[in-house]
Each structure stands twice: as structure tokens, then as C-alpha cells.
Amino acid sequence: MILDEKISNELKILALETINNAGSGHSGSVLSAGDILYTLYTKHLLTNGMKTMNRDRFVLSNGHACAILYSILAGLKYFDISELKKFRKFNGMLSGHPEIEIPGIDASTGPLGQGVGNAVGMAIAESIMNARFNLSHYTYCMVGDGCLEEGVGLEALSIAGLYKLNKFILLYDKNDVTLDGKLSKSSADNIIMKFQAMNFNVLECDGHNINAIDDAITLAKKEKNRPTLIIFHTIIGKDTSLEGSNLSHGKVFDKEEIAKLRNKLNITSPYLDLSEETKNQLKKIKQEILKKYQKRVDNFSKYLDENKDLEKKYFKFIENKFNYKEKEFIENNSTRQLNNKVLNEIAKKVENIVVLSADLSSSTKVKIENDSDYSSTNRQGRNIAVGIREHAMGAIANGIALHKGLNVICSTFLAFSNYMLPAIRMAAIMKLDVIFVFSHSSIYDTPDGITHLPVEQLDQLRLIPDLIVCRPFNSTELYRSYDWYFNRKGPICLILSRGDIEYCPSNDDVSKGGYKLFVDNSCDAYILSSGSEVPLAIEVMDKLENYYNVNVVSMLSLEIFEEQNNRYKNSILSKPIFVIESSTCVKYLKYTSEDKIFSVKSFGTSGDEANLKKKYGYTSDIIAKKIINVMKKENLKEGK
């Protein structure tokens, strides 16, 4: 049997050669984090490399350190070692930062701090699934200095401490160097004290001593009441000419430098490969892991087998097979209130929905009524407070979705959606099933003033690829939005009004994302609108009655509408198109010219609804008059 150190060093050389072959990548962390990851993957992380429920989760929050992780995953044959040759290359499987599609990768990472939030979300999900079904695993997360400086990371860590997530183990590759220089240049935090203040168990350890690393992780796993931070003291670029220097961070070591390191570490494995003895040893190690992993799976299966009711429910949770009835709410009401009713109807049946709130559930109305608060002593409570931490809320929601087994919904004001945009982008990138709810959707929705009134936010969301944005105006549209959430892969945004919206029925075409609200045989023009502006559009339609035949199109979701066939789309778009929406309306420019769009062009201001509507042009008198002018000017159609 060869020594762990030898195998670990071989894997590091393999990673450095992978980077050398790619022509770009991050070598510094290969040499600082290598021994930690080797120890984790060979002695602790129980997984079969597939996305199974019982596996331990691991998130590499400092995603740039992926070369060494890929090297270890290849060594353990979670994928073929030849893939390393295509690292960072076009059409290669191994991208420049970890991606969820890669075997053995539990979260796509890259933007720093996000992975910490994801891992905390996974640990929360585990705690819930554990309380309900006895599912049990650890969630490990590796971070560099960056993830601990990022606000989203700091927010998430407070939550981990608050909820006493003792199976959340944070592995800190503390090499004291960041891209631009020594860590001391940008941080003077006392990390031990800071984490203890956040209720963490803190351990310290030499990050290049495999026995010590092993012991520290073993100790962390025994902690029963707090999450654990293990501070691994490491050396970036260890044993190279750039040892300890920030210049090693994004360095591609040339073959000569790697040869020197091979010599120093006495490594003679083939180029971009591992020695036979290392392969054999890793094979044995993997068998050992799989055996232990299988034992965990068997125990869990046995438990379920002995608890048939639970078993049935567990599979309902996992397969997300719930039926709920759509109870319509025919009432003049705000969509935040309607959503509260719809969500609670759904939540009665869909038992695995959990709700995250960034301290605005009183206002967004996104909460499960008659249910309890999740806490360290009540893991089954379905309302999970995350404090005034929108960004971590998003990253944690992503982690819960990554974990599987639960549906997750979170909320804040639309004006503050930009606090969590990086997390929403990651949800779209990973195609995660998360509902992001944003209320207070209009420029006239509150007297709170300029900072609280959304302008650009709705369209900033719509610009993110693979994100469905819904702005419903009645309960039917709310149910359709939830349909898309349950029946499609990927995140959904729900944009809700603060103020009341006069009721108007939808029709079957609602499933097409954009649809005519009224039957028309001949129509001179359509008004596209959504959410809180739909009643206004109808009012405008009524005012135009003596001039033109106009119909209103509710544009519940531009993305879903865009997916429809041209024939359907043109049944609307071939006529003159007007748009009324409290947003920059920039995406509607595809359908019509700027002079036909009633959008918001400047920041908001304090005031009452009536005056704000007038100021921003959202009154039927103003709009009807303008539409008549445009129709005349452009000779689109003579008035009646």
C-alpha cells in the first residue's frame, strides 16, 4: 500500500498538468487545497458520484479551485481521466468552474460566496428531511478567503449558526493570499472569533497533514449542536517557485516548473495520468467508500421499510407528486394577497413546500398560514426566517432546490430583487426549481419613495436567460404560474402587486403566457399589459370604444408567450400593438415602437397612488388620448 501523501501529490501534479494542458486555470489552490480535498474524498465523503438522496453533499464555493477537484474525481473514476485533457476546452465536459452537469459536482460555482449559501440550503434541507424521514448526510463546503469576505457568504453563515446546522462542515483553505496580494491587505478579521460569534464550532488544523485533516473532519462530524468551521492553514503554490505568492493564484505552471515539482515530490506518474499503483489504491478506496455509502442507503431503506407511511410520503416528496385543487378567488384584491391564498391552497396538499422570508413576509404575504416557524428545535416548520439577508435567501433557496425533496419559495420587494440577482442568475444557470416572489411591483405602489419603487428591476429579471418571469393579475394566472413551476425545469419569478386589482376572468389561452382577455372578431389594435396595469388597460379599452375596437392582452409571461408558435403570436402581433406596464418595457420593443409603449422612464418619488399614477402617465385619460393620437398620426386606422 502506498502512502496517502504520495497519492495526493500525484493528484496535484495531475491537476497542474491539466491546467498546463488547458493553457489557463488556477494552480495556486491546487497546491493549497489538494490535501484537504484528497482527505475529504477518500476518507469521509460518502457518495456514489451520482445525484442520489443519501449522498453527502460537497460544494466547492471557491470554484476556481476546480482543477484539483476534477483530478480527484477522475482518480476515483467518477468520470474518465481522459476528460482532463479537455479541461476548459470547447465542448469539453470539464468547464473552467464546476458545473452541476459534471458527475460528482453538487453545485455550479464560480461567483464567490454563492456556494456557501447553496451548502447552507442543502444542510437546511437535510435537517428537514432528517426530521421527517430520517434521511441523514453531511454537507461539506470548501471556501477560500473570498467566500468569507463576500456578503452573501457572511449572511448565509449567520443563518447556519442560527439554525445550529451541525452537519454543515465548512472547510476553509486559509492560504492567506488573494489574487491581488496578501490577505492582510484586505482583511484584518479575527476569523476564529467571528465564527464563534456566529455560533460555529471552530477547529484549526495543518492543511498539509493528511492525518490531521482526517482527525479534524472526524471531530467536526461528531459535533451535535453547531456547524463547524475547520481552518486549514495552507500554503498557496506550495513547493513551487511561487510558494506563498499571490502570483501563483492564476498561474499556469510550465512543464519545467512541474518537472521540478515532480522531482521534489518524487512523483513519476505518466504525463496527465496517474501511476498504476495509485489507480489501484484509489480503486480500493472507492470500493470502501461505496461500501460505506451502500450501508447508509440500506439502513435508510430499512427504516422506510419499517415505516410504510413514511416511505409513501418520502417518495411523494422526492417525486414531487402532489395533487391540489385550483380554488379560484373571484375578488378585487392585490396579487400579493391572492398569492397568499393560492399558495396556502397549494401548500395544504403540497406538503413539501417550504417558504423562506427575508423579514418581509408580513408585507409580501408569502408565508404558510397555520404552520410553524422552522427552527433548530422544530425542523418541520415550513416558514423559514432568514432575516434581512435577501442575497443569502436566494443562494439558500438554490441549495434547497439542489438538495431535492422540497419545493422552495422565497420573497422580498421587487425594488430589492437586485440584492439577490447573482443568486437568481445561478438558479437559471443550474435550472433550479425555485420560486422567487417580488411584491410591490409598480411605480405607484407605495409612498416609501424613490428607493422602494421598482423601475428597471422587472426587465433586469427578464434579461436573464432561462428564467420565467410571471406578472399575474388574478388567481387563475397565479395558478398557471405555479403550474409552470411544478411542470417545467427551472426557476420562476412571481411579480405581485401591493394594491388591489379589479377582478376580470382569464380564459383557456392563459397557458400561452400572453392571451386576449376578450373575444374579438375584428380588432384595430391590442393593448399588451400585465399585473396591476391590466385593469387600467381595460379602462383604456373602454374609453376607446367610440373610436376603435381594441382588445387587451394579458402578458402574464413574455417568456412563455415567446415559446408559442408564430401563428398564435401573429394572431396578436400582426395588429398595432400598444403596451401598458409599470416597467421599462424594454422587451416589448420587439413587438412595437416606442411611441406605443407606456413605460416608466425615470425613478419614482413619494406620494399617493392617484398622484403617482398621474405623474407617470398611468391614467386611462392620458393613455386613451395618446393612443388616439398615435393611431391617427400613423394612419393605422381611421377612428369609427
Residues with a catalytic annotation lie at: 390
Task: Report yes or no: 143 and 115 within 8 Å, Cβ to Cβ.
Answer: yes
Nearer CB in complex with a copy of itself: 278/557: 557
Is residue 416 a contact residue for a copy of itself (CB under 8 A)? yes
What is the C-alpha to C-alpha distance for residues 122 and 125, in angstroms, rounded to an integer?
A: 5
Nearer CB in complex with a copy of itself: 57/367: 367
- Site string (328-367) toward a copy of itself, x via CB under 8 A: -----------------------------x-xxxxx----
C-alpha pair distances (Å), 320 with each of 123, 352, 353, 424, 509: 20, 8, 10, 22, 26
| Of positions 460, 549, 571, 619, contacts a copy of itself by CB under 8 A | 460
Is residue 181 a contact residue for a copy of itself (CB under 8 A)? yes
Phi, psi for residue 619 in degrees, rounded to 5:
-125, 150
| Of positions 606, 629, 639, 640, contacts a copy of itself by CB under 8 A | 606
Q: Whole-number minimum distance, CB 75 to a copy of itself, in Å?
A: 21
Nearer CB in complex with a copy of itself: 48/103: 103
* Bridge partners of residue 201, in order along the sequence: 228
Look up residue 25 and give its three cell numbers. Answer: 486555470
* Bridge partners of residue 494, in order along the sequence: 437, 470
Residues 199-218 within binding reach of a copy of itself (CB under 8 A): 199
Is residue 196 a contact residue for a copy of itself (CB under 8 A)? yes
Residue 378 per-residue DSSP state: B
| Of positions 104, 121, 146, 399, contacts a copy of itself by CB under 8 A | 146
Is residue 187 a contact residue for a copy of itself (CB under 8 A)? yes
Q: How many positions of this chain bind a copy of itself (CB under 8 A)?
A: 110
Is residue 121 a contact residue for a copy of itself (CB under 8 A)? no
Task: Report yes or no: 339 and 441 within 8 Å, Cβ to Cβ.
Answer: no
What is the C-alpha to C-alpha distance for residues 248 and 250, in angstroms, rounded to an integer?
A: 6
Q: Whole-number minimum distance, CB 543 to a copy of itself, in Å?
A: 24
Nearer CB in complex with a copy of itself: 45/468: 468
Nearer CB in complex with a copy of itself: 187/275: 187
| Of positions 209, 307, 605, 619, contacts a copy of itself by CB under 8 A | 605
Q: Which stretch binds a copy of itself (CB under 8 A): 303-311, 447-455, 468-476, 549-557?
A: 447-455
Residues 247-276 within binding reach of a copy of itself (CB under 8 A): 250
Task: Report yes or no: 544 and 570 within 8 Å, Cβ to Cβ.
Answer: no
* Bridge partners of residue 356, in order along the sequence: 384, 410
Phi, psi for residue 420 in degrees, rounded to 5:
-120, 15
**Strand ranges inside 129-250, DSSP E:** 139-143, 168-174, 177-178, 181-182, 201-206, 228-233
Q: Whole-number minimum distance, CB 349 to a copy of itself, in Å?
A: 26
Residues 471-530 within binding reach of a copy of itself (CB under 8 A): none
The dihedral formed by the CA atoms of 34, 39, 42 and 48, expressed in degrees to the nearest 10: -80
C-alpha pair distances (Å), 34 with each of 40, 70, 145, 546: 10, 11, 16, 76
Look up residue 558 and give its three cell numbers. Answer: 413574455
| Of positions 288, 369, 608, 638, contacts a copy of itself by CB under 8 A | 608
- What is the arrangement of strands in the sheet containing 492-495, beginning at the earlier edge strand? 383-385, 353-357, 407-413, 434-439, 492-495, 468-470
Is residue 50 a contact residue for a copy of itself (CB under 8 A)? no
Residues 8-27 within binding reach of a copy of itself (CB under 8 A): 22-24
Nearer CB in complex with a copy of itself: 34/110: 110
| Of positions 112, 124, 410, 504, contacts a copy of itself by CB under 8 A | 112
Is residue 602 a contact residue for a copy of itself (CB under 8 A)? yes
Is residue 402 a contact residue for a copy of itself (CB under 8 A)? no
